[in-house]
Chains A and B, each alone.
Chain A
Amino acid sequence: MSDATLSQATAVNEPSAGLTTADGKPLKQALLRAQSHARRRAFLLVAPLLAFILLTFVMPIGQMLHRSVHNEGFTWHEDVTTGHRTPIMTNLSQWFDDNPLGTEPDEAAFAALAADLVVLREVKAAGQAGTRINYERSGSRSMFTKAARRANKLEAPYKEALLELDEDWVDPSLWRVMRDASSSYTANFYLAALDRTKDADGKVTQVNENRQVYVKLFKRTLFLSIIITLLTLILAYPIAHLLATLPLGKSNLLMILVLLPFWTSLLVRTTSWMVLLQSQGVVNDALVGMGLLGDENRLEMMYNQMGTLIAMTHILLPFMVLPLYSVMRPINPSYVRAARSLGATSWTAFRRIYFPQTVPGIGAGALLVFILAVGYYITPALVGGADGQLISNLIAFHMQKSLNWSLAAALAALLLGGILILYWLYDRLVGIDNLKLG
């Protein structure tokens, strides 16, 4: 039945398939050729941007994501000067392959380890391999460097020989870490980023309580970002409304005031907050000077969460004002007037008529501010003190100080994932096509 209708339909359409241009070429082909020129030109116009994005955005992020699950510290060594790559820990890796998890390391295992230590000594990779193990079991790096130094003097029985150097060599957790690290691909950095680790049997457990930092920081980042988003919304809404209702000349002037901080260096703005808010700063001095505050109990508004909160709210405010303004500007004042004339009090008119029409702007502004706040780095680094640090500060720490890039990548990937989930949630609740940024 459906086939019949289908063939009928094609039969009806058939004459159009045979249409030709005036000089006898098939019409479809001619159309394609005519359009392909425009298409090619359009593509060429966007090609530089496309290349730029691929090069500066997609590739680095892809590399970062890859690094979060991939670490060659215990599998390959690369000579910095020659670029020559040598596989390391091959013997041990072979032993791990032959013996399942939970096998007590026997003499063969220690012999393999000793042979690998000789290689480490030759290619000077003991530090690198030790560092990789050290990520998951602290104190391991020195064991590797020490053992590698004496690798040539190690003799059978290797187990006793290594135990003589350091009795931790029989620690089951060390062997568990080495087993995981002997493969380049691992999810352990994600576990670490969530304050979790594997015990000797490979079971996932929480890390020691005093070493749980990341989850707490994720929570703090989320909490502060939500507070900052709410604060910017409360501050920006009336300003945006004022901007939208004033005559254009005046509102442009005000708009410049809103944008002025945008044009000032972020560093300058942050440091000026430091000048204002520190305990010997302008605000405290003024309060003490007016006698509202005793000299001995000056307010602590800097180098703590308060400092992060105040400075970031100020810095992110324009990102809330602008989307709100762009949504409010086209709302005709006659809507509220109509509501008033229909019997609504000004509050009801706002709540039921004006506010719902600004929701797309609120959504856009909140999403923008929240995403920026979650990844903010410089301001908390400068004014956050110890308890005003956000997750990005820790990512930076692992990038620059501890050089555990895989962990930094895992933390960043979790952050990215979290934001994508929020974005998805927003799409489900409000709808992304309701977003109006300008």
Chain B
Amino acid sequence: MAHVSRNDAFVEFERVQKSYDGENLVVKDLNLTLPKGEFLTMLGPSGSGKTTCLMMLAGFETATHGDIRLDGVSINHIPPHKRGIGMVFQNYALFPHMTIAENLSFPLEVRNIGKSDREEKVKRALDMVEMGAFGGRRPSQLSGGQQQRIALARALVFEPELVLMDEPLGALDKQLREKMQFEITRLAHNLGITTVYVTHDQTEALTMSDRVAVFNDGRIQQLAPPTELYESPVNSFVAQFIGENNTLEGTVAEVNGNRALVKLDDGEVIDCKPVNVSKPGERTRVSIRPERVEYNKDRMQEGVHTLQAEVLEFIYMGDIFRTRLRVAGNDEFIIKTRNAPDQVRLEPGQQIDIGWMPEDCHALDA
């Protein structure tokens, strides 16, 4: 079966399936195309198949069915050491019995690169991650963040065109993680390498990636740039998984092009944007982001449907206020408002009307 690759396709998964036991599919019919230089994140809960995909790409797992191509060449039968793919592991996997410089030198040595060349490249890679002074140390003498940098430098030192990262920041504390997120993206873009990044942290996925593939149950649920993913989730799994989200359940009453009317279970009717509902009578789950909910009458658009809500809890978080409401029988309805001078502070027990732009309210699958 001849296949003509698209010109910009650098990494391709075509109808890839993977099963470990012959009974269950861990990856079900995966199709994915990456252009050169893209930073793609595979995001999903554990067991969703994202790491398996990465391992298949790296060559540590074989696809049960389908084809994986790198630069137009099928790599199904190429052993990992001939794929020339850099990889950063979750636990860094720095060789404990070697110094940092030896760790970095290893991929160059197995490629039979001369000694002076090797030293030059190792030095450049260490400088790149600002660890030039640490060449003589052992991995155990470095902090987690430093080890992370070395792991990154080692994956890049032999100048691969594709780098895979398997939850590389999982073991770092929050502050360091944010710093490293920035550094990794900067490096990846500066060097122009194609990156496939696996994580279960959605903030990481949103801040770092050109595109994000949201995995669940062995399938890609949505493949889109972060903005689109956040603003227009295509199904309720994606909406739930990415960012914070309020859901209300109901039945579609009317669909009219870009507008739908949804009758909530307690009888109230709201305006929505139909995403994957098509006809009246369908059950739907409506999703609204907490920061898109408005309760200040002055700021609400004319003519939108409003809902009655009771304030249950008001949490002061510094830059924002987080308020928990009871809306249409849902006690976990959250709204977030910016801590602006003119912002109204709500009190528990207060009855308010809330509303939102119909475009921000997505009617998704139930």
Contacts and interface: CB of A to CB of B under 8 A. Distances in A.
Contacts of B82: 343
B293 interface: no
Given A332-B93, A357-B96, A344 B87 contact: no
A342 B110 contact: yes
A337 interface: yes
A339 B60 CA distance: 12
Contacts of A346: 79, 81
A356 B60 CA distance: 22
A332 to B, nearest CB: 6
Contacts of B93: 332, 334-335, 337-338
Interface string B70-99: 000000000111111111011101011100
A194 B30 CA distance: 76
B233 interface: no
Contact of B58 (A341, A344, A352, A356): A341
Place the interface of chain A in its size category: 10 to 19
Contact of B80 (A341, A352, A357): A341
A353 interface: yes
Contact of B89 (A337, A349, A357): A337
Contacts of A348: 110
B106 interface: yes
Contacts of B89: 334, 337-338
Contact of A337 (B60, B86, B106, B110): B60
B172 to A, nearest CB: 17
Interface string A333-376: 01101111111111011001100110000000000000000000
Contact of B106 (A344, A356, A357): A344
B154 interface: yes
B111 interface: yes
A246 to B, nearest CB: 15
B39 interface: no
Nearest to A355: B97
Contacts of A342: 81, 86-87, 106-107, 110, 154-155, 158
A340 B60 contact: yes
A343 B60 CA distance: 13
A322 B107 CA distance: 33
Interface string B138-159: 0000000000000000110010
Contacts, number: 67
A368 B230 CA distance: 62
Contact of A341 (B81, B91, B95, B111): B81
A339 B155 CA distance: 10
Interface in A306-352: 332, 334-335, 337-346, 348-349, 352
Given A332-B93, A334-B93, A341 B106 contact: no
Nearest to A336: B93
A356 B107 CA distance: 17
A334 B51 CA distance: 13
Given A332-B93, A334-B90, A357-B96, A341 B110 contact: no
Given A341-B80, A341-B87, A335 B110 contact: no
Given A334-B90, A338-B87, A348-B110, A343 B81 contact: yes
B97 A344 contact: no
Nearest to A340: B80
Contacts of A357: 96-97
A337 B79 CA distance: 11
A425 B87 CA distance: 41
A356 B96 CA distance: 10
Contacts of A344: 81, 106-107, 110
Interface string B152-187: 001100100000100000000000000000000000
B97 A356 contact: yes
Contacts of B164: 341
A336 to B, nearest CB: 9
A339 B95 contact: yes
Contact of A352 (B79, B106, B158): B106
Contacts of B60: 337, 340
B91 A332 contact: yes
Contacts of A340: 59-60, 79-81
Given A337-B89, A340-B60, A345 B81 contact: yes
Contacts of B106: 339, 342, 344, 352
A346 B58 CA distance: 14
A338 B96 CA distance: 12
B90 A343 contact: no
A352 to B, nearest CB: 7
A343 B91 contact: no
A327 B75 CA distance: 34
Interface in B78-137: 79-87, 89-91, 93, 95-97, 106-107, 110-111
A240 B111 CA distance: 31
Contact of A335 (B58, B90, B95): B95
A297 to B, nearest CB: 48
A343 B84 CA distance: 7
Nearest to B95: A353
Contacts of A343: 81-82, 84, 107, 110-111, 158
B193 to A, nearest CB: 15
Central interface residue in A341, A349, A352, by most chain B CB within 10 Å: A341
A375 B278 CA distance: 85
A357 B139 CA distance: 14
Contacts of A353: 95
A338 B81 CA distance: 10
A372 B86 CA distance: 47
Central interface residue in A337, A340, A343, A357, by most chain B CB within 10 Å: A343
A348 B111 CA distance: 11
A357 B97 CA distance: 7
Central interface residue in A338, A346, A357, by most chain B CB within 10 Å: A338
Contacts of A349: 81
A437 to B, nearest CB: 19
A334 B97 contact: no
B158 to A, nearest CB: 7
Interface of A: 332, 334-335, 337-346, 348-349, 352-353, 356-357
Interface of B: 58-60, 79-87, 89-91, 93, 95-97, 106-107, 110-111, 154-155, 158, 164
10 contacts: A334-B93, A337-B60, A337-B80, A338-B87, A341-B87, A342-B86, A342-B158, A343-B158, A344-B106, A356-B97
Given A339-B106, A342-B110, 8 more contacts: A334-B90, A335-B93, A337-B87, A338-B87, A338-B93, A338-B95, A342-B154, A353-B95
Q: Can you list the 5 inter-chain pairs with the closest CB atoms, starting with the nearest?
A: A342-B107, A338-B93, A341-B87, A334-B93, A340-B80
